[in-house]
């Protein structure tokens, strides 16, 4: 224990300072009240006694010792894991024109209603909204909980989102054009885990699968659901689909066969 007056380091059981000879007692660094060695909090002022100091009882107002702050290790993020996910990418048609023609406050209200309509449908089928990307939604099926029918859930969600928006009060607003979406779906292997800084962390699926889902969405017509051939094989017989052929997708090395739900 360090004596606050002469700053000499004494043994924990010392009763007198070996440097200046003053009588020593353990005291609260907040109010100076004498405390027992085993006390955790001062009963006078409630100060934590994790760092009590030795003081001269004739001068009961101790200087609180400066302690070297130990850097706190950043919490370890959960280990990344490999999973097969069905990824859905939903995007508003003509959002750039919409933002140019609406007042920012009105645009915000429209986007909030759109996102709420989508969220209600997604949650009903146990989808996981990984990101809100402005007017787009990135949704995982198969994370954090896995189901046997992830691909079918994704397709149902896509169709129900389109139906929900058609019946939404949004369509009664004075919008430049009806609010429509394009929806793309792809199934594949990902590595999912935390990325980002300590201030902002996100659990995202990394790999080609989310990129393909986004690119597949880009070839969809307004208010349609399109999927890759891999996803179509998983839902074969559950939905009526039209083969629209291999598509050359930007940033994807090989053409991707795409099907439209009809």
Secondary structure (DSSP) of the chain: -BBTTT--B--TT-SB-TTT--B-EEE-TTT--B--TT-SB-TTT--B-SS-EEE-TTS--PPPPP-PPPPPPPPPPPPPEEEEEEEEEEEETTHHHHHHHS-HHHHHHHHHHHHHHHHHHHHHTT-EEEEEETTEEEEEESSSS--TTHHHHHHHHHHHHHHHHHTSGGGGS--SS---EEEEEEEEEEEEEEEE-SSSEEEEEESHHHHHHHHHHHTPPTTEEEEEHHHHHHTBTTB-EEEEEEE--TT-SS-EEEEEE-
Per-residue pLDDT at 204 exceeds 50: yes
Q: What is the 3-state secondary structure (H, E, C) of 124-193?
A: HCCCEEEEEECCEEEEEECCCCCCCCHHHHHHHHHHHHHHHHHCCHHHHCCCCCCCCEEEEEEEEEEEEE
Residue range 3-31, pLDDT digits in tens: 445 555 666 666 676 776 666 666 776 66
Residue range 151-165, pLDDT digits in tens: 999 999 999 999 999
Domain boundaries, the chain: 1-66, 81-261
The per-residue pLDDT for 20 is 67
Q: What's the rounded mean pLDDT across residues 196-217? A: 89
Q: What's the rounded mean pLDDT across residues 117-143? A: 95
Residue range 80-93, pLDDT digits in tens: 899 999 999 999 99
Q: Cα separation of 26 and 36, whole Å?
A: 7
Q: What's the rounded mean pLDDT across residues 98-115? A: 90
Per-residue pLDDT at 72 exceeds 50: no
Multiple choice CATH, 81-261, 3.40.50.1390, 3.40.50.800, 3.30.70.1230, 3.30.70.260: 3.30.70.1230
Placement of tokens 């400066």 in the chain: 66
Q: Which two tokens stand for residue 174?
A: 């004075």
pLDDT-above-70 percentage for the chain: 73
Q: What's the rounded mean pLDDT across residues 185-190? A: 97
Per-residue pLDDT at 56 exceeds 80: no
The per-residue pLDDT for 201 is 82
Mean pLDDT for the chain overall: 83
Q: What's the rounded mean pLDDT across residues 187-205? A: 87
- The answer, as to whether pTM is greater than 0.75, is no
The segment with the largest mean pLDDT, out of 101-110, 119-128, 169-178, is 119-128
Per-residue pLDDT at 43 exceeds 80: no
């Amino acid at each position: 224990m360090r004596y606050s007056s002469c700053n000499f380091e004494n043994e924990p059981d010392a009763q007198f300072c070996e440097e200046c000879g003053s009588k020593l007692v353990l005291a609260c660094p907040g109010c100076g009240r004498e405390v027992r060695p085993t006390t955790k909090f001062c009963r006078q002022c409630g100060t934590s006694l994790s760092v009590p100091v030795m003081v001269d009882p004739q001068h009961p107002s101790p200087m609180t010792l400066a302690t070297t702050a130990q850097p706190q290790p950043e919490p370890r993020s959960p280990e990344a894991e490999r999973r097969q996910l069905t990824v859905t990418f939903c995007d508003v048609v003509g959002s750039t024109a919409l933002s140019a023609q609406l007042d920012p406050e009105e645009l915000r209200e429209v986007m909030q209603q759109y996102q709420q309509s989508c969220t209600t449908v997604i949650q009903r089928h146990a989808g996981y909204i990984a990101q809100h990307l402005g007017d787009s939604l990135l949704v995982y099926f198969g994370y954090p909980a896995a189901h046997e029918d992830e691909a079918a859930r994704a397709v149902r969600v896509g169709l129900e989102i389109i139906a929900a928006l058609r019946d939404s009060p949004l369509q009664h607003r004075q919008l430049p054009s009806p609010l429509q979406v394009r929806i793309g779906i792809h199934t594949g292997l990902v590595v999912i885990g935390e990325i980002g800084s300590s201030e902002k962390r996100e659990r995202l699926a990394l790999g080609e699968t989310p990129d393909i889902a986004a690119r597949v969405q880009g070839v969809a017509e307004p208010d349609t659901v399109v999927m890759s051939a891999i996803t179509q094989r998983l839902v074969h017989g559950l939905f009526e689909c039209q083969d629209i052929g291999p598509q050359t997708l930007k940033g994807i090395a090989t053409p991707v066969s795409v099907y439209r739900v009809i």
